[in-house]
Homo-oligomer: A and B are copies of this chain.
């Protein structure tokens, strides 16, 4: 089941360069694990913004919330989820 997710990141101003690097490395690993197992199906950068649009393919609402809530950057992001359905013109 598919969802479009937009994530906007705002890092705390007082995060040290080391903590930032560590946080972003953990975020990247977390994202790539989910991309590899197929649940984080697509991820694109929004041009000019510290934000992404992503497609998730998960079993249900609870699984999606669990994946998003576990993001290392979760406390520093504004997230909006749009549930998607099959389009009748889809080939």
Contact = CB atoms under 8 A, between A and B. Distances in A.
B31 A79 contact: no
Nearest to A36: B91
A47 B4 CA distance: 11
B87 A45 contact: yes
**Residues of A contacting B: mostly:** mixed
Given A47-B64, A90-B43, A81 B83 contact: yes
A85 B81 CA distance: 12
Contacts of A79: 48-49
B83 A47 contact: yes
Contacts of A80: 48-49
7 contacts: A31-B89, A43-B89, A44-B87, A45-B86, A45-B88, A46-B82, A65-B85
